[in-house]
Each structure stands twice: as structure tokens, then as C-alpha cells.
Chain A
Amino acid sequence: MLSEIPLSYFLVVSTLMFFIGIYGFLTRKNLITILMAVELILNSVNINFVAFNRYLFPNQLEGHFFSLFIIAVAAAEAAVAIAIIISVYRRYSNIDVERVDTMKF
């Protein structure tokens, strides 16, 4: 059963996924691809919560519910971010982070 796989394996997978997301966040220039990198980061955090819940506190549901709430927050964040991206596109006709710098001081 599940006890054959140690908890740290799940944590290693989610850590690698988190840092791959950070790599995307640092190197991408298009706003939508940056948003996808953020989704990767949020998803890796969810895996962490769920694995901790199953392995360390199997009789409670804290990690399960926090993952549910994180998914809801991620949906809200994606909706607002995409609204902002569409608005930016309408004004500048591109969504490259290096060319949208009107507010840069």
C-alpha cells in the first residue's frame, strides 16, 4: 500500500515542481506564460499540503481543506490576471513584460 512510498518522495517531487515554476517565472517574458508558471507553483504547494495531511495527520482534514481553498483562490487569481492581461493587450497591443513599462519609475 501507500506505506511503501516514503513521504519525502512526494516532497521532492513538489519541490522540483516549485523550482521549475520559479525558473519559468524568472525567464519568461510573455504575461500568460508567467501566469502558467505561477499556477505550477500553486499546484506544487497543494501536493505538499495533501501529502502532509495523508502521512502525518491521517485522521484530520486540515491539509485537504486548505488545498480546496488554495484551488479556489487560484481560480480567482487566474480570472483577475487574465482580465488585466486582456486590458493591457487592448491598450498596448502586446503582452510582453519588457515593453509594458509606462508606470516604471
Chain B
Amino acid sequence: MSIHELMFYLFSGMILLFSVLTVTSRRILRAAVYLLFVLVSTAGIYFMLNYQFLAAVQLTLYAGGIVVLIIFSILLTSHISQKFEPLGVKKMVFSALAVAAGALLSIMTILDYGFDTVVTTSQNPDMELIGTSLLSYEKNGYVLPFEVISVLLLAAMVASIVIAKKEKSK
């Protein structure tokens, strides 16, 4: 077993284990920390696939930004020591059945389909290429989605300030 395979199994095992813990843990703060582990292992998978810029974005934006935001809102809205009530057996069984059926169908389809993979020496796209294609409007340029995303981020920022603002007492 080579080091690549070992890394892959390690990261995917961590992803699956901590994903299950994220959706089943009865303490909400622990669930958030398990989510952080899932996101960090995903960044590890990106590093393995040799997309270093994407992995860095995943670490700073997802693991750094979104998880901190979620933990802040947990601290604002619930007590630390609060535990959820255990789930009803009926709901748990039926959800698990639906999910298992869906997963089985998808995985069987994936394993059945022969992908014709191109095996090349995978190189890391350098920063210059990423920057120029983000701002180019020619072929393989992404300036339109880039601008749309920037407007969306501005709108989301204004919207979240307006929604979360305290109403004036009349």
C-alpha cells in the first residue's frame, strides 16, 4: 500500500466517521467541532488531488469562517450543557431506511459506470493561471460568475445586517 492510498483511506475514514458524528451527536457544540474535522479532512483530500489553492480556500473560508460563524450562533442561541432529547425510534428508522436506499442506488450506479479516466501527471494550477482565468472574458474565462458572486456577497451582507438588526422600540 503506497503512501497515497494510505492518505486517501485516512482522510475518507475521518470524513465518514466525523460526518456521522456531526448528524448524530446530541450536544450541539460537539457537533460543530465534528463538522470542523470533516471540513479539514476535505481540505486534505484537495491537497491530495493537488489543488493547493482550493485547499487553502477551504481551510480559511470553510474551516475558519463558516464554522466560527456557526459556533458564534450556537453560543448566542443555546446553553452549552444542553443535550437534545433522543430521537424517536420510528423517525430514525424511516430516515435511515430512506437514506440507505438512496445511497445504495447511487453507489451501485457509480460502481457500474465505467469512467474513462485520463491519467496524466497531475500538476498544480499555479496562482497566475487561476487569477487570469478568473478575470478573463475570453474562452475559459470566468469574469461573469465572478462579478455575480461579488454582487451576491454584497447583497447577502446587507441582508444579514438588516435581518439580524434589533428593531427599534416604538
List residues of A whose CB falls within 8 A of some B CB.
1-13, 15-17, 19-24, 26-30, 32-33, 35-37, 39-40, 43, 46-47, 50-51, 54-61, 64-65, 67-69, 71-80, 82-87, 89-90, 95
- What are the 9 closest A-B residue pairs judged by CB atoms, nearest first? A24-B23, A83-B160, A76-B156, A83-B164, A19-B103, A83-B163, A26-B95, A13-B12, A20-B19
Do A55 and B62 touch across chains, with their CB atoms under 8 A apart? no
A76 CB → nearest B CB, Å: 4
List residues of B whose CB falls within 8 A of some A CB.
2, 4-5, 8, 12, 15-16, 19-20, 22-24, 28, 31-32, 35, 38-39, 42, 45-46, 48-51, 54, 57-58, 61-62, 65-66, 69-70, 72-74, 76-78, 84, 87, 91-92, 95-96, 98-100, 102-103, 106-107, 110-111, 115-122, 125, 129-130, 133-134, 140, 142, 145, 149, 152-153, 156-157, 159-161, 163-164, 166
The distance in angstroms between the C-alpha atoms of A84 and B145, with both chains bound, is 26
Other-chain residue from A13, A19, A67, A68 in contact with B99 (beta carbon distance below 8 A): A19
B169 CB → nearest A CB, Å: 13
Chain A interface main SS type: helix
Closest residue to A66 on the B side, CB-wise?
Answer: B145
Other-chain residue from B20, B74, B122, B129 in contact with A58 (beta carbon distance below 8 A): B122
B91 CB → nearest A CB, Å: 6
